[in-house]
């Protein structure tokens, strides 16, 4: 999407990431309000809202920015596109994703009459949780870029939404799988929060998972894609 101005792409990434985090946090607050004594039902409500919203957000913003909403997706897109996109553009994507994630958490806090910033006290620091993040992120990268390389980009919104919704349940970490979302969730002391001290290890696990997922993609689809950063829409025209 080189014909789309960079500032528009960055705005789309900011809004998309912010709205995603707002949905994750807001649906978590609503779930604990509606089902205060049933943690399983809370997770159903939180995961369903996130899965549906993620699919919609990708559909809305993909024509503008590629709808990455995730620094590891941007990094893998840059690497698999033979780095034809300027590194500064990729860095700008990551920066606005992180800022958008924080803004989304603040927005959700305000919508539910919470303090604008309330550092999470939910510690998520254990080896099995980090392993869960490795698995969740590797799977996300595999889903996106296997579909990209197979020329089936139209399936990405539904596939990514379905995968994240399922990964809430089959990973011990409930599948953050996104450094920007992880950082944003540190700003809310609600159901979806993560203590700031737990963030670095989660992000490191996500980076490891992204590398693992990329390795699997390259084994399955060895031909590289020569496209600029917004892969999810451009590649539908020229998948190989």
Q: Where are the domains of the chain?
A: 6-234
For 160-183, b/e burial (b = at least 16 CB within 10 A) is: bbbbbbebbeebbbbbbbbbbbbb
* Predicted confidence pLDDT, tens digits, the chain (240 residues): 558 999 999 999 999 999 999 999 999 999 999 999 999 999 999 999 999 999 999 999 999 999 999 999 999 999 988 667 789 999 999 999 999 999 999 999 999 999 999 999 999 999 999 999 999 999 999 999 999 999 999 999 999 999 999 999 999 999 999 999 999 999 999 999 999 999 999 999 999 999 999 999 999 998 754 445 555 444 334 443
pTM: 0.90
Half-sphere exposure (CA, 13 Å, Cβ side) for 141? 33
Measured in Å, how far apart are the chain's first and last C-alpha atoms? 16
CATH number given to 6-234: 1.20.1080.10
């Amino acid at each position: 999407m080189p014909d789309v101005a960079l500032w528009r792409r960055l705005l789309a990434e900011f809004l998309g990431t912010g709205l995603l985090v707002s949905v994750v946090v807001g649906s978590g607050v609503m779930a604990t309000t509606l089902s205060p004594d049933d943690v399983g039902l809370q997770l159903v409500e939180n995961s369903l809202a996130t899965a549906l919203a993620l699919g919609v957000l990708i559909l809305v913003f993909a024509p503008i920015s590629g709808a990455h909403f995730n620094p590891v997706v941007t990094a893998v897109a840059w690497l698999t596109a033979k780095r034809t996109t300027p590194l500064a553009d990729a860095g700008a994507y990551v920066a606005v994703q992180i800022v958008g994630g924080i803004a989304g958490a603040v927005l959700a806090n305000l919508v539910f009459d919470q303090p604008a910033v309330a550092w999470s006290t939910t510690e998520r620091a254990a080896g099995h949780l980090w392993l869960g993040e490795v698995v969740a992120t590797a799977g996300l990268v595999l889903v996106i870029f296997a579909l990209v390389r197979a020329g089936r980009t139209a399936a990405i919104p539904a596939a990514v939404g379905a995968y994240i919704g399922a990964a809430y349940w089959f990973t011990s970490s409930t599948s953050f799988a996104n450094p920007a979302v992880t950082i944003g969730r540190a700003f809310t002391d609600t159901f979806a929060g993560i203590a700031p001290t737990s963030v670095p290890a989660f992000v490191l696990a996500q980076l490891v998972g992204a590398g693992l997922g990329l390795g699997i993609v390259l084994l399955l689809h060895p031909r590289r894609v020569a496209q600029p950063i917004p892969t999810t829409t451009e590649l539908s025209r020229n998948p190989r």
